Amino acid sequence: MKIAPLLLVVAVIAGGAVAYFAPGCSKSSPPVPPASPALKADEAALVLQRGLGQRDLAKVWDGLPPAWQQDVTALVQDFASRMDPAVWNRTAATARKATGVLKDKRAFVLDGPAIGLALDLLDDKRAPAAYDALVAGFDALANSELADLEKLKQFDGRAFAAGAGARVLASAAELSGLSEDSSLHTWLERGSTARAKLLADGDARAIVELTRDGEEKVEQVWVKVDGRWVPQQLADEWPNLIAQGRELVDALAAPEAPKLKGALIQALPVVDGFLDRLADAKTQGEFDSAVRGGALTLAGTFSGMLLDAGVQFFSDE
């Protein structure tokens, strides 16, 4: 069985949109005009550029064709209706506990050996900020509607984009800006001053010239889908993106799924016990000892769980 978490479904769709819209951000960015079916292709391009750049994913959601919004909503709601509530709620509770430990034991984590391995590419001055950005992203997800199946059954894409989605993007951008490879952060920043020029306009097809600081001009073909202008390349690949998401959701009904769910329920108390030991640590030494002792236990628990459940780490194809 292949693992099919909801976050991967969302990431496939959101990641595809970000890749094609190439956003930017700046505190002095021009206001983001509202998405509207009446916008021309160049105007729609700027809505998406600046919306992503300002971490205003609600504007990005508004710019998507209504049919695409329905695709995403149906996919997430179907996931919620098919996911085992006991497994999901138990996992969400552990995720929230982990986030709490990461917040409360920040000083111990930063001063311990683990952070040196995890943030090996960062100097001592940047490591705390990077850690905070990473924890903020985890916290946004662990305490969002994603952690509640009942809320997911009533999933509101715009509300998620405006809340947890925006916070996760902001954390990712900040983390990128602190790393040696700051390509995501740079890419985002350049979008705030992007210019768009309409080279050819038609009822259903247009050509937009996009100019971003530090980059060569790019001509993009945009097409109208359900009354909204979107990049043609994304329009061509959208059915495949949704199909991939559907395959992940369908994996919940695979014959091996019950076995994996049972194994996960048995493994989560081990994780909780490890987190409790970290939370109880009063000194750096106690914390480091708990980390060393728990690492091997967790590795053995989860590797055994996945093997027993028949999870495929590599494709047979």
Say how far residue 66 (Cα) sits from the centre of its chain: 21
Q: Where are the domains positioned within the chain?
A: 6-193+229-254
H-assigned helices in 65-112: 66-82, 85-104, 106-111
Whether 244 and 71 have beta carbons less than 8 Å apart is answered as no
- Give me the pLDDT at residue 177, please: 84
Whether 235 and 225 have beta carbons less than 8 Å apart is answered as yes
SS3 state at 273: helix
- CB burial readout 201-211, b (16+ within 10 A) else e: eeeeebbbbbe
- Residues in contact with 94: Cβ distance below 8 Å, sequence separation at least 6, in sequence order: 268, 271, 272, 275
Half-sphere exposure of 110 (CA within 13 A, CB side): 18
Whether 54 and 214 have beta carbons less than 8 Å apart is answered as no
Question: Tokens 């708990």 belong to which residue?
Answer: 290
Q: Which long-range contacts (CB under 8 A, 24 or more apart) does 312-317 make?
A: 312/1, 312/2
Question: Which H or E run includes 214?
Answer: none
**Would you tell me how many other CB atoms lie within 10 Å of the CB of residue 19?**
12
- Give me the pLDDT at residue 8, please: 39
- Give me the pLDDT at residue 48, please: 85
Number of DSSP helices (H) and strands (E) in the chain, helices first? 15, 4
Question: Tokens 């496939």 belong to which residue?
Answer: 12
Distance CA 119, CA 130 (A): 8
- Give me the pLDDT at residue 65, please: 95
SS3 state at 311: coil
Whether 30 and 43 have beta carbons less than 8 Å apart is answered as no
Distance CA 48, CA 33 (A): 9
User: For every one of its 317 residues, what pLDDT tens digit does the chain have, with 9 covering 90 and above?
Assistant: 333 334 433 443 444 444 444 433 333 444 444 555 578 999 999 888 888 878 888 989 999 999 999 999 999 999 999 998 888 999 999 999 999 999 999 999 988 775 555 555 556 678 888 889 999 999 999 999 989 999 999 999 999 999 999 999 999 888 888 877 677 777 777 877 789 999 999 999 999 998 888 888 999 999 999 999 999 999 999 999 999 999 989 887 776 677 778 878 888 898 999 999 999 999 999 999 998 888 777 877 767 666 655 555 444 44
